[in-house]
Structure 1
Amino acid sequence: MKTKAMEKAIDKYTKKRIPLQTLYEMFETIIEGTDLAKHTLEFEAAFQLALDRLVNQNIIKPVKSSKMNHRGLYLKYVKPAPLIDNNEIHGEIINTIIKPMDIKYYLSNPMKYLEDKEYILALVDFFKSADKVWVTVNERSYELFNDEKFLKGNERNRSYGEAILGRLGLTYCDLYCTTTLEPFFCFLKGDLSSKANRKVYIIENKDTFWSMKYAAFDDGSLDVDMLIYGEGRKIISSFQFIGEYGLDEKDKFIYFGDLDSEGIIILDELVQRYDKYNIKPYILGYEQLIASAKSKGTTLVPKAQSLNKKALDNFLGYFCKDSAASIYDIIVAGRYVPQEAFSLKKMKQLFEKILSINAEQE
């Protein structure tokens, strides 16, 4: 009788894990009005008997990683997950999921179907509706799931919504939605369409971007057709925006960032993702950072950065032996040189020197 009452109390308990103390309190409530006195040997024996029966009947299970009390009882218990009839779930999957959604993944993973059911039903309602107008991914995401970010993650991580689409074999086109290009901030020198083989500089940090703008555009001392503010890792997604300016694989893209692991990884990801484009590091700029490291020293990176050996090896391949050795020593030591070390003053001096040399050679 006491075991049945305990079973009902446990069933009403909303949390999955139940502390031993809570089970004691449940038992104390159950025995009120009986001849069994609390906290006596008879009470302890009756409680332990009820606990053993609950465990044997799989109503609760001890959390064996929890400690035991002085009577050998575990301090925590857990309500086991209810047994699921997979055949019943398979029938529900077959009857619920409609074309163009694919049912194969969820037939093989019925528990995942139960986890994803609310999202799947939202998609089912969408495919049953007649009104389908093309919108952006974020707009469709908000419409279906009340979360504009649900269907699209960032360049490093997929969102949970993208995972569900993959399980169902769906694309954004199936949902009548399209991604939008991430724009970037830039300056143009002249009419890009009037020139072939254009030279485009991508600058990672804001201060150096503006210094390069003053040196390249206001003074006209650098051969450049377009200057793009990379804005850190954002350029990995926003690089696609170059198509809006008619740029293509015949143009030359020159990247300049901090001399650190993160900056090197950004360049490497750009080169790998957009491999049909001619993307190279700004050698003269990085050599200025190396010179600064030799004269003023380097700084420990402000936060931990992962060392991507393959990206580093690819980066070193652009440089002469001495420069590559200097870069290697800086990066492996966990140090860096910010691109701000190549200041506006140094840019003007370098660009004027290059102009002078070119004039002498003409």
Structure 2
Amino acid sequence: MQKRIISILEIAKKSTITLSELEKVANTLDTYDDFARTVQTLLDEGFIKAVKSHGTNWKGLPNSFRIQKGRVKQPLIEEIQEMQFKVHPVIELRSYFSSSKKKWMEEKPWIVMIDEYLQKNGLPTTFTNSSERSYEIMKDEKWIDEKGGKAILEKINLFDKLKIMKSPDPLMFAINPNKLLSNLRVYKHLIVENKATYSGLIDSLSTTNFTTLIYGSGWKIASSLNQLTKQLGLTDEEKQHEIYYFGDLDYEGISIYFHLYEKYNVILAQCFYEELLRRPFYKGKENHTKNEVAVHHFLHYFSKEDQEMITDMFEENGYYPQEALTQEELHTIWRHMV
């Protein structure tokens, strides 16, 4: 009975509660003496305090009580504190100290699942849209946007750390009309990471075998690339699309490529990178995060000699920006691709 009464105290919206309201908690198997002893225990343990001005009943029990919210919430706070020590360090549970036990119990299973995801995967290193991140964490692509997930993630100060993009911007690309209107079976597309490279290549688009030149804009491409066929009006499932990627030769560029490879089966535009390796690298990328799996996958496209050059470059905190290739070099390489 004590647990039942405490649960009523926990959800009470007012700071006081009447004896008659507590009496409703008792069921037919409880005697009034049992009920009276329970109320007295709650008084003794500080969960409630008698409002003396309201008098007592025939059994000597106060007619109303002031709820001692701090004492009532103490077990809940201790439970939350205990869980805080167990979950991944980026999860912050402090906001639940002021929540009701009902809210805590409703949302605790979600926090457990979030913790399991983080313990296994850590914080994401790449950006994606909310639907994909929702599916990764909960196996439910609608949880974040439509089922209250965003509010929970914000409450535990995690939403901004999950690299979730807002609604994707439209995909930015230039079109080769000769290829778009040729009713091809396979359409080829080239993504370049930076604006300068995009501007350097756009004039030669019509002389290539490619239908589009796409401006990737760093990680933005990760959430907007799925709009390509719709924006082109080439949604026929019989049409095939080969998408190539050329980015900076650094840890960030490799991670972007690998993400696109896993998600869209994007092809590495290897010939551009091979040309980059024929010149000195730049220095100054000490703080980029290395994705071991992505780098290992990237290296397997190159000869042993080139692999060693790339490895040595990274050991010296080096990198190759796309801009290391001149406009003429970019044009020549692209015109000879596939």
TM-score by length of 1: 0.48
Query: Which of these residues, 216, 220, 236, is aligned with residue 222 of structure 2?
Result: 236
CA separation of 1:299 and 1:171: change in aligned 2, threshold 3 A: same
CA distance in 1, matches of 2:71, 2:282: 57
Query: Which of these residues, 313, 316, 325, is aligned with residue 296 of structure 2?
Result: 313
The answer on whether the counterparts of 1:182 and 1:241 sit within 8 Å (CA) in structure 2 is no
Query: Which of these residues, 295, 315, 322, is aligned with residue 332 of structure 1?
Result: 315
* RMSD of aligned Cα (Å): 4.3
The structural deviation recorded for 1:322 is 2.2
Give the SS at the match of 1:228: strand
Identity of aligned residues (%): 24
| 1:96 matched residue in structure 2 | none
Is 1:171 matched with 2:143?
Answer: yes
Q: Any stretches of 5+ residues in structure 1 without a counterpart?
A: 1-80, 89-110, 122-153
CA separation of 1:346 and 1:82: change in aligned 2, threshold 3 A: farther
The structural deviation recorded for 1:215 is 2.2
| 2:188 matched residue in structure 1 | 199
The structural deviation recorded for 1:182 is 3.1
Quick one: which amino acid aligns to residue 341 of structure 1?
A
Is 1:256 matched with 2:223?
Answer: no
Query: Which of these residues, 290, 293, 297, is aligned with residue 277 of structure 2?
Result: 290
Question: Matched residue pairs, number?
Answer: 208
Is 1:186 matched with 2:173?
Answer: yes
The answer on whether the counterparts of 1:199 and 1:226 sit within 8 Å (CA) in structure 2 is yes
| 2:324 matched residue in structure 1 | 341
Quick one: which amino acid aligns to residue 282 of structure 1?
A
The structural deviation recorded for 1:195 is 1.6
CA separation of 1:82 and 1:269: change in aligned 2, threshold 3 A: farther
Query: Could you give the per-residue CA deviations for residues 6-26 of structure 1, whole angstroms, max 9, x where no partner exists?
Result: xxxxxxxxxxxxxxxxxxxxx
The structural deviation recorded for 1:303 is 5.3
Give the SS at the match of 1:198: strand
Quick one: which amino acid aligns to residue 260 of structure 1?
D
The answer on whether the counterparts of 1:208 and 1:343 sit within 8 Å (CA) in structure 2 is no
The structural deviation recorded for 1:85 is 5.4
CA distance in 1, matches of 2:254, 2:99: 42
Query: Which of these residues, 247, 255, 260, is aligned with residue 265 of structure 1?
Result: 255
Query: Which of these residues, 205, 209, 219, is aligned with residue 223 of structure 1?
Result: 209
CA distance in 2, matches of 1:192, 1:336: 39
The answer on whether the counterparts of 2:285 and 2:317 sit within 8 Å (CA) in structure 1 is no
The structural deviation recorded for 1:113 is 8.1
Quick one: which amino acid aligns to residue 252 of structure 1?
E
Give the SS at the match of 1:251: strand
Give the SS at the match of 1:84: helix
The structural deviation recorded for 1:156 is 6.1
Query: Could you give the per-residue CA deviations for residues 282-335 of structure 1, whole angstroms, max 9, x where no partner exists?
Result: 1111111111x34xxx21134511122211110011122222222222123210
Q: Any stretches of 5+ residues in structure 2 without a counterpart?
A: 1-69, 78-92, 104-125, 149-165
| 2:127 matched residue in structure 1 | 155
Quick one: which amino acid aligns to residue 251 of structure 2?
S
CA separation of 1:82 and 1:325: change in aligned 2, threshold 3 A: farther
CA separation of 1:192 and 1:329: change in aligned 2, threshold 3 A: farther
Query: Could you give the per-residue CA deviations for residues 61-91 of structure 1, whole angstroms, max 9, x where no partner exists?
Result: xxxxxxxxxxxxxxxxxxxx86615589xxx
CA distance in 2, matches of 1:170, 1:158: 8
The answer on whether the counterparts of 2:246 and 2:272 sit within 8 Å (CA) in structure 1 is yes
TM-score by length of 2: 0.51
Query: Could you give the per-residue CA deviations for residues 31-65 of structure 1, whole angstroms, max 9, x where no partner exists?
Result: xxxxxxxxxxxxxxxxxxxxxxxxxxxxxxxxxxx
The structural deviation recorded for 1:209 is 0.7
The structural deviation recorded for 1:174 is 4.5
The structural deviation recorded for 1:348 is 3.5
Give the SS at the match of 2:288: coil
